[in-house]
A and B are shown apart, each in its own frame.
Chain A
Amino acid sequence: MDPIINLIIFICLGVASLVLSVLAVSSKSLLRSATYLLLVLICTAGFYLLLNYHFLAAVQISVYAGGVVILFIFAIFLTNAKGDILQKHQTRKYVFGGLAAIAGIAITAFALLKHQFVYSGNTSMDGDQEINMQVIGNALMGTEKYQYILPFEVLSLLLLACIIGGILIARKK
């Protein structure tokens, strides 16, 4: 696609996600915050689409928008009384929050600029082409170098433990 159009889309997404993130932390009602968070996550999916990484965009939407935010909303439903309004934060908290945000940006920027990406020298990965789903699947389930069967299995074990723990807490005596 035209680089200018790419840039315009990128700026729109960036501005939207910035504004929505600020709204998410500054909103008075907890449920509104959760909704703004949902919109921020959808914007992130938009970034992935812009990078032609459709798989990650779909994962982003289905895991975060479809799973995590719904869990948040359920938790808010169960714990918050109707019409609860969040207390205003103290100024001290704003200062520390701002500092934490700047530190986060600094660390991320440092990591991004310093890190040597595996495929950065590989010109076959440049341009508009999309990585095939089969490649991603093989990378996730393979046992060779740069393939991720072990983390995949460890994570699924962790999730299983979480499920069992949840059931143990929730079940009737």
Chain B
Amino acid sequence: MFHFSVVTNWIDELLRTYLPDGWALFIEFVLIGIAILTVYAVLALILIYVERKVCAFFQCRLGPTRVGPFGVFQSVADMIKILLKELIKINKVDPRLFRLAAYLVIIASICTFGAIPFDKGLHVVDFNVGVFYLLAISSLGVVGILLAGWSSNNKYTMIGAMRSGAQLISYELSCGLALMTIVMLSGTMQLSTIVEQQTTAWNIFRGGIPAIIAFVIYLIAGHAETNRGPFDLPEAESELTAGYHTEYSGIQFGFFYLAEYLNMFIIAAIATTLFLGGWMPLHIPGWDGFNGVMDYIPPVLWFFAKTFACVFLALWVRWTMPRLRIDQLLKLEWKVLMPISLINIILMALWIIYIDL
């Protein structure tokens, strides 16, 4: 198997032979920052293109076809357009909070993005409390959304922000509980260890029924966390124009847009890491030939394949289901998902004690 740790270790040793430790570290920090931002932006472009194509196929259309073959450069053109757009000054807003809100949303998203283990050695933030860190840092985005809604001085944005706040705070609970189920199974919160434990069997197979329930709950709650699909009440275009980011223009709007797409990717990536084995190839005990063939596929590819499968699932749901009402949305969380995930935790405890050793 080819791991990216070869490359990253090589860079590290190269820098350390020519420079003192402090400077080598500093240069590595800068390199990592650039790499993270680049991957973030490129992934956003890919996701926007994928979303437009998939959505088009679901609606029996073709989607973008003009810019480049199959329209692949459409989102690049859109990016150039949004970078060149004017930032419109809104009357009677709180300018400092107005600008800060967009940054808060995207910073929370990038910080979460940094903690995703793409491959062994391709993992920026690997804390002992990895899963908890993910939950904590992603909750910063809520503040950004609330501030954006308030500081825009607009009724639609305000309603959008309130809805979004209520939705994100509620669904964070079952998200956290679903992740907690897997933390119980693996006995650690460190993401790299969780991935490495899944060499023989992915958590979703090892954890059996409770893990599958947790996976489904996580997908639903995570999907609601991204403000998309049937849960897009905060930006319901038929009711609220564009919700909390109505008044934003140019790249500030772009920040919200990027964060939304990347949050979809992040949710899929966390689902992949915790449930589907992260960058581990698919191994079936006893089938040595099959396992050998699977090992030839690089782990990064495995990671992205699984993540994009989850992303496709999210897109499928988004373009299939009609939007929920706010009371249905809250009822789904507090009366359905929450009790199920609480019971599921007990179930997982029983599973760990009696079946999985």
Contacts and interface: CB of A to CB of B under 8 A. Distances in A.
Contacts of B140: 42, 61, 65-66
Interface in B10-53: 21-22, 25
B143 A70 contact: yes
A40 to B, nearest CB: 13
Contact of B128 (A2, A67, A70, A133): A133
Given A61-B136, A62-B135, A73 B146 contact: yes
A73 B169 CA distance: 13
A55 B132 CA distance: 8
B22 A133 contact: no
B336 interface: no
Q: How large is the interface on A (under 10, 10 to 19, 20 to 34, 35 or more residues)?
A: 20 to 34
A31 B139 contact: no
A22 to B, nearest CB: 16
A5 B151 CA distance: 37
Contact of B189 (A1, A5, A65, A133): A133
Interface in B174-210: 188-190
A26 interface: no
Interface string A1-41: 11011000000000000000000000001011001001000
Nearest to A42: B140
Given A62-B132, A82-B153, A74 B139 contact: no
Interface in B237-296: none
B143 A65 contact: yes
A32 B96 contact: yes
B309 interface: no
A58 interface: yes
A65 B141 CA distance: 10
A163 to B, nearest CB: 13
B143 A73 contact: yes
A54 B169 CA distance: 23
A73 B129 contact: no
A43 B329 CA distance: 35
B312 interface: no
A106 interface: no
A77 interface: yes
B130 to A, nearest CB: 9
A122 interface: no
B310 interface: no
A139 interface: no
A138 to B, nearest CB: 13
B147 A31 contact: yes
Given A35-B100, A77-B162, A65 B139 contact: yes
A116 interface: no
Nearest to B153: A82
B127 interface: yes
Given A31-B150, A35-B97, A70-B143, A58 B22 contact: no
Interface in B127-176: 127-129, 132-133, 135-137, 139-140, 142-143, 146-147, 150-151, 153, 158, 162, 165, 169, 172
A139 B132 CA distance: 18
Contacts of A55: 128-129, 132
B356 interface: no
Nearest to B125: A54
A54 B129 contact: yes
Given A31-B147, A132-B128, A70 B142 contact: yes
Contacts of B190: 133
B94 interface: yes
Contacts of B22: 1-2, 4-5
B111 to A, nearest CB: 9
B128 A130 contact: yes
A130 B165 CA distance: 34
Nearest to A131: B128
Contact of B143 (A38, A77, A83, A133): A38
Interface of B: 21-22, 25, 92, 94, 96-97, 100, 127-129, 132-133, 135-137, 139-140, 142-143, 146-147, 150-151, 153, 158, 162, 165, 169, 172, 188-190
Given A59-B136, A132-B128, 17 more contacts: A4-B22, A35-B143, A38-B143, A54-B128, A55-B129, A58-B129, A58-B137, A62-B135, A62-B136, A65-B143, A69-B143, A70-B139, A70-B169, A73-B165, A77-B162, A82-B153, A133-B190
19 contacts: A29-B94, A31-B94, A31-B150, A32-B94, A35-B147, A54-B128, A59-B132, A61-B137, A62-B132, A62-B135, A65-B139, A66-B142, A66-B172, A70-B169, A73-B146, A73-B150, A130-B128, A133-B129, A133-B188
Query: Which 5 A/B pairs are nearest by Cβ-Cβ distance?
Result: A66-B139, A62-B136, A61-B136, A58-B136, A54-B127
